[in-house]
Amino acid sequence: MENEIQNIPENFSGIFIRSDKDYQNLIFVSSSIKKYFGFSSEEIMGSPKLLFKKIDAAYFKEVKKFFRNLKKGLPSTVDFIVIKNVDEKYLLRFRAVPRYEGSELKFFDGIMFEVYDELNQKALLEESEKQLKVLFETAEDLIFILDASGNFVLVNANGALSLEYMTDEMKGKHILTFIDESGKSSFLKAFQLLIASTTVQTFATKFQSKYGKSIIFELNARTIFDDYKKIIGVIAIGRNITSRNSLEDKMKDLSHKLVEARRIISVERDRAKQRISVLEELNRLKNEFVSNISHELRTPLASIIGFSETIDSDTSMPDEMKKEFNKIILDEAKRLANLINDVLDISKIEGGKIVLNKTEFDINEILRRSVEKVRAYAAAKRITLSVDIPPEAVLVLADEERITQLFENLLTNSVKFNVEEGRVTVMAQNLFKEYEVIISDTGVGIPAQDLPFIFQKFYRVSRPGTEIPGTGLGLALVKQIVDHHKGLITMQSEENRGTTFIIKLPLLNKQG
């Protein structure tokens, strides 16, 4: 049958369909139909309507017109798309095949389906172009193409809109006109890098919208080259990251604040810790002080009470003994009074209430008297007192009582913290601008770790096993007295070897 058909190109690769003269029934369908429509030739011959199942509905009208023309005997063609399945589409061309008798056209013999490969490619291209266009127009991102000099050739509507422009308002204009003033230099830098490279470059760019808003886009851009590797433009797609950026800024800001807050908290915590430890230390010292002072008070009180009771109960006590006991009572009472004075003094000084009662006196004489006061105490421990005080008078303007207190405290300590048969050296010299006293002993000394605290009130060196009674007020008072007289006190001490105090006090300036 096929050979009856005229005018079919020799290497025709398409489909041939032949119908009867009334175009009612198909009498031949080439087996190649299956490739394009998915139905076998028998299936199509049995039910020609199946063809329409695969024809893209958009072409129905054209195809139907073609059939009408065919019946009218008009030569006709129609192009249409067959959708075999989602991924397989073909562009086919219907062409009526005329039958000639001699040179006279008799009637149309049938329909030839031609499959144009090149047409197919075009269709697919058109199709993907269509899809691309849809994508281009619906994308929320900013998509654009610039020419070699940086002018917009193409920009998608949504992208333009996000900058408050219409596409046409942007086309032909240079990209720099749309960049925010503050972002221009960094954009130019990024743009230079982009032009120098052949790969996709990503960089953030601050645009300025038509009405002055700053909008940051993260651009993925690439240069476009011609066949001679010459740059003919730039294609780019940009994502609006303005909100991301401002969120990032806020995050950064917050995290800085967090770090700062943490630092402040930790500083505060350290300070609180320090405060607590100072308070704890003070508390410990106070407790220690209370127990020391109670002990110190109790000892003289016990002898006072004990000796007075003895005198009271023993009427036959010889006068000599009574006198001796009375002296002890008196001494102990004085000791008590001194102690109470120390406590009061310290609190006076603490409260800033110390007022120096300054008079002019010979400080050598005061020192000599103070030494005499500890002589008996030293003798009791068989301690040698070596004293080198010049005989001449050295005048100072100072509080005599306080200076006495100062010397007595230091001298008492030098005996108290000395060893049996030890030595105490007292030296004084007139240095013309100042008066220097050195009180040195061969006693137990002060451990190096205690030295920095030795002048703090209530501070006492703990000497487990050989605790020597005291309140820890003496040296604090000494220091306060020296300070108030604008003098200087220094010390050196070695554990188990001894301690030396050096005191310098200003001399009376006769001219002043």
Please tell me whether residue 475 binds ligand ADP under the rule CB under 6 A. Answer: yes
Contact status: 474 vs ligand ADP (CB under 6 A): yes
Of positions 14, 110, 233, 472, contacts ligand ADP by CB under 6 A: 472
Per DSSP, helices labelled H in 438-509 are 474-484
Task: CB nearer to ligand ADP: give 106 or 295.
Answer: 295
**Chain residues 244-283 in contact with ligand ADP, contact rule CB under 6 A:** none
Site map (CB under 6 A) of ligand ADP, residues 486-505, x = contact: -------------x------
For residue 389, the minimal CB distance to ligand ADP (Å) is 19
- What's the min distance (Å) between Cβ of 268 and ligand ADP? 34
# chain residues binding ligand ADP, by CB under 6 A: 20
Minimum distance, C-beta of residue 462 to ligand ADP, in the bound complex (Å) = 8
**CB nearer to ligand ADP: pick between 244 and 286:** 286
Task: Give the list of residues 6+ apart from residue 43 with CB closer than 8 angstroms, or none.
Answer: 50
| Residue 454 binds to ligand ADP (criterion: CB under 6 A) | yes
Shortest CB 418 distance to ligand ADP, Å: 7
- Which member of 470, 482, 485, 503 binds ligand ADP (CB under 6 A)? 470
Nearer to ligand ADP, 308 or 425 (CB): 425
Q: Which is nearer to ligand ADP, 45 or 406 (CB)?
A: 406
Q: Is 443 in the site for ligand ADP (CB under 6 A)?
A: yes
Closest CA to 92 of 110, 76, 116: 116
Give Cα separations from 458 to 37, 110, 461, 482 (angstroms).
109, 126, 10, 18
Alpha helices in 381-438 (DSSP H): 400-416
Question: 419: how many CB neighbours lie within 10 A of its CB?
Answer: 15
Show contacts of 118-124: CB within 8 Å, 24+ apart: 119/79, 119/91, 119/93, 120/90, 120/91, 122/91, 123/81, 123/89, 123/90, 123/91, 124/89
Are the CB atoms for 437 and 427 separated by under 8 Å?
yes
Window of 116-124, 314-322, 362-370, 457-465 that interacts with ligand ADP by CB under 6 A:
457-465
Per the listing, tokens 């960049």 go with: 179
Q: Residue 402, Cα to own-chain centre: how many angstroms?
A: 56
Least spacing, CB of residue 476 vs ligand ADP, in Å: 6
One of 26, 123, 461, 505 touching ligand ADP (CB under 6 A): 461
Positions 379 through 438 that interact with ligand ADP (CB under 6 A): 413-414, 417
Q: Which is nearer to ligand ADP, 224 or 419 (CB)?
A: 419
- Distance in angstroms (rounded) separating the CA atoms of residues 320 and 232: 130
Select from 78-86, 101-109, 253-261, 441-449 the region that touches ligand ADP (CB under 6 A).
441-449
3-class DSSP state for residue 250? helix
- Separation CA 361–CA 214 (nearest Å): 85
Q: Minimum distance from CB of 450 to ligand ADP (Å)?
A: 7
C-alpha distance across the termini of the chain, in Å: 148
Q: Given the rule CB under 6 A, which of 72-80, 281-289, 368-376, 455-463 is the region that contacts ligand ADP?
A: 455-463
Question: Shortest distance, CB of residue 497 to ligand ADP, whole angstroms?
Answer: 10
471 lies in the site for ligand ADP, by CB under 6 A: yes
**Residue 418 backbone phi and psi in degrees, to 5:** -100, 170
201 phi, psi to nearest 5 deg: -115, 140
- The Cα angle at residue 91 between residues 90 and 92, in degrees rounded to 5: 110
From the CB of 460, what's the least distance to ligand ADP, in Å?
A: 4
Residue 473, interface with ligand ADP (CB under 6 A)?
Answer: yes
Q: Are 436 and 428 in contact (CB under 8 A)?
A: yes
Taking the complex as a whole, the smallest distance from the CB of residue 509 to ligand ADP amounts, in Å, to 31
**Contact (Cβ atoms closer than 8 angstroms) between residue 158 and residue 140:** yes
Token pair, residue 48, equals 């020609």
Specify the residue, 65 or 463, whose C-beta has the smaller distance to ligand ADP.
Answer: 463
Interaction site with ligand ADP (CB under 6 A): 413-414, 417, 441, 443-446, 454, 459-461, 470-476, 499
